[in-house]
Structure 1
Amino acid sequence: MLTTAKRKKTEKIVMTIIMMIGGILVSIPFLWMISSAFKPENEILAIPPTIFPENPTFDNFIKLFTEMNFLVYLKNTLIIVAVSSVGLLFNGMAGYGFAKFEFKGKEKLFYLVLATMMIPGQVTMIPVYLLLNEMGLTNTMSGIILPGLVAAFNIFLFRQFMATIPTSLIEAARLDGAGEFYIFFRLIIPVAKPIFAVQAVLMFIAAWNSFLWPLIIANDESLYTLSVGLSLLKGQYANNFALQMAGAAFMVVPIMIIFGFFQKYIVEGFTMSGIK
């Protein structure tokens, strides 16, 4: 009979092999997309198919910026990402307030914020659109950005993390004469780096992939984002699969890079926030 140590080692090896096989199977579509992005148009439909491009080319990526307005779409997406970082501070302040301040109706207000998480975003799109239309913000970059600056889940995540920060640390800073903004920016933010990293990645992914709302609120193609541009690419170049793969790769690779760099902080942030 196998000893306990040998059995555990065998189980570990088996689980490792299973996870490796699963990882390879999941990665196949992604690797095929990257490979196809560098293939000429005639090679991507070749029979039998080639795993790696025989004649690698950057023409597909060049066409994205010369034959389509991907440079404009990229600029708009980067603007949304940059301005959304301001929303990161708003969410952090709200979470800090719910975690460390005492005021009348705090619990009820927090539960109300949580209740909004139960409402699908599609339900609120029409009321938000009507409000923005009355304010004259439809077909503007402000109308695209403003509704996404604050989110209930982000506030909840910040609140859960900041509740773990010792109140005595904040009280000591107040006794030393520090103001609330000084405490937040010089004390809370450095301590809460993991959760800010988590929120930054989630915010980047949401802003980078923004599709439905920009499509609804914007009538001018000069306000479209990369996701909307990729959708247009599928319509205008439906038979050019190599160009579509290049557009998809251009959308996905930055997210993979960001996630790779911040993976450690994401796991740490979710763990310390009590999200299992």
Structure 2
Amino acid sequence: MATDVTPAVGYRRPPRKLSDPVKKVLGYGALIVAAALIMMPFVWMIISSLKTNNQVFTIPVQWIPDPVVWRNYLDIWTASDMSTWLQNTLILSVTVTFLQVLTGSFAAYGFSKVVFPGRDVLFLAYVGTMAVPWQAFMIPQFIIMSNIGLNNTLWAIIALQAFGAFAVFLMRQYFVSIPESLSEAARIDGMSEYGIWWRIIMPLSVPAIASLTLLTFVNTWNDYLGPLIYLRSPELRTIQLGLQTFIGQYDAEHALIMTGSVLSIIPVAVIFLLGQRFFVEGIATTGVKG
């Protein structure tokens, strides 16, 4: 007996869903396009550093330099004080990063593993300082640095950035995910709080430490306003101040300006590539309470 399978009037077939391979292809395609758009300015900067001045702003853009001017990477050292700028920036970035990881992790241990009255309130008050813009207390900080004689020294930047609320927040959120049973077992065995922090908590927090190291290093390396306010001597200029001065003096040397910009991002790129895996892991697991 035949069965009538004619669909009823007004019936609509449900729309076909895209298969998983098609979704993946579309997703990867969108990511490739987005990555290309993001990387295009950096690629153009690197290519421009290998051109002559007249070729930098040609229209249409000349993506393949002809000829390739490798000498720009030699001339930039003689035309500017690049070695001093990189040295000062490296000193500040490494010192500030080390101190923020040290002080941030130590304070985070107290806020996460040590019980004392008012701990949570104090932590919220301290983290709340991140909501206050730096411009609000920039002048009082400058007056303090002037009174103690740290203006126009690298110590001014180091003293102001050695402690950070964000560092405490990031490390504390990761420390909370570490089981408390480990700390309790160490206390039963007679280990001090300093020993628990250094020998147990810190080795288990490598992803968070890597994330904080990367973020702090990049922020300090790219800082412009802080050095502009506190560092006035030419021999104390950082890479950002130095490049700004170089642009003012050699505003027509576009190829050399691009060369200096490329040199300024190489350390940041190397740090990011070395710590990318730990950075992603630390950001993904921070805030997940175990």
Quickly name the TM-score band, shorter chain normalised.
over 0.9
Query: Among residues 67, 71, 88, which one is paired with 1:59 in the alignment?
Result: 71
2:158 counterpart of 1:145: yes
SS at match of 1:82: helix
Q: Identify, as 1 or 2, the structure richer in helix.
A: 1
1:245, CA displacement in angstroms? 0.8
In structure 2, what is the Cα distance between the partners aligned to 1:117 and 1:23? 31
Does the CA contact (< 8 Å) of 2:171 and 2:208 recur in 1?
yes
1:93 aligns with 2:121: no
Q: Does 1:235 align with 2:248?
A: yes
Q: Mapping of 1:107-118 within 5 angstroms?
A: 107-118=120-131
Give every structure 1 segment of 4 or more consecutive aligned residues whose post-TM-superposition deviation is greater than 4 Å: 1-4, 45-48
8 Å contact 2:53–2:252 — kept in the other structure?
no
Q: Distance in 1 between matches of 2:171 and 2:38?
A: 32
Residues 76 and 82 in structure 2, CA contact (< 8 A), matched pair in contact too: yes
CA contact (8 A) 2:72 2:259 kept: yes
Alignment correspondent of 2:3: none
Q: 1:48 to 1:111 in 2, by over 3 A?
A: closer
Q: 2:84 — aligned with what?
A: 72
Alignment partner of 1:40 out of 29, 35, 52? 52
Q: For 1:56, what is the secondary structure of its paired residue?
A: coil
Number of aligned pairs?
274
For residues 84-122 of structure 1, what are the alpha-carbon distances to aligned partners after superposition, in whole Å with 9 as ceiling and x for unaligned? 112211011011110111112212211111210111112
**What's the offset of the Cα at 1:45?**
4.2
Secondary structure, in 3 states, of the residue corresponding to 1:192? Answer: helix
The letter for the 2-side match of 1:55 is P
| Residue aligning to 2:35 | 23
Q: Distance in 2 between matches of 1:140 and 1:39?
A: 37
SS at match of 1:104: coil
Return 101-110 or 90-99, whichever deviates more. Answer: 101-110
* Distance across 1 between alignment mates of 2:68 and 2:202: 46
Instruction: Could you tell me which runs of 5 or more consecutive residues in structure 2 were left unpaired when the two chains were aligned.
Output: 1-13
Residue of 97, 103, 121 corresponding to 2:134: 121
Unaligned stretches of 5+ residues in structure 1: none
Q: How does 1:202-241 map to 2 (within 5 A)?
A: 202-241=215-254
Pairing 1:251–2:255 present? no
Select between 199-208 and 52-61 the one with higher mean Cα deviation.
52-61
The one-letter amino acid paired with 2:263 is: F
Aligned sequence identity (%): 34
| RMSD of aligned residue pairs (Cα, Å) | 1.8
Aligned-partner residue type, residue 98 of structure 1: F
Kindly state the Cα deviation for residue 48 of structure 1 after the two structures are TM-superposed: 4.7
For 1:48 and 1:203, the matched residues in 2 are separated by 39
Structure 2 residue 149 is the aligned partner of structure 1 residue 158: no
Q: Describe the SS at the equivalent of 2:80.
A: coil
CA-CA distance at 1:255 after TM superposition = 1.5
1:25 partner amino acid: L
Residue matched to 1:83: 95
Q: What is the CA deviation profile of residues 185-219 of structure 1, one whole-angstrom value per residue up to 9, with x for unaligned ones?
A: 21111100000000010111012112111110112
TM-score, L = length of structure 2: 0.89
- Match in the other structure for 2:24: 12
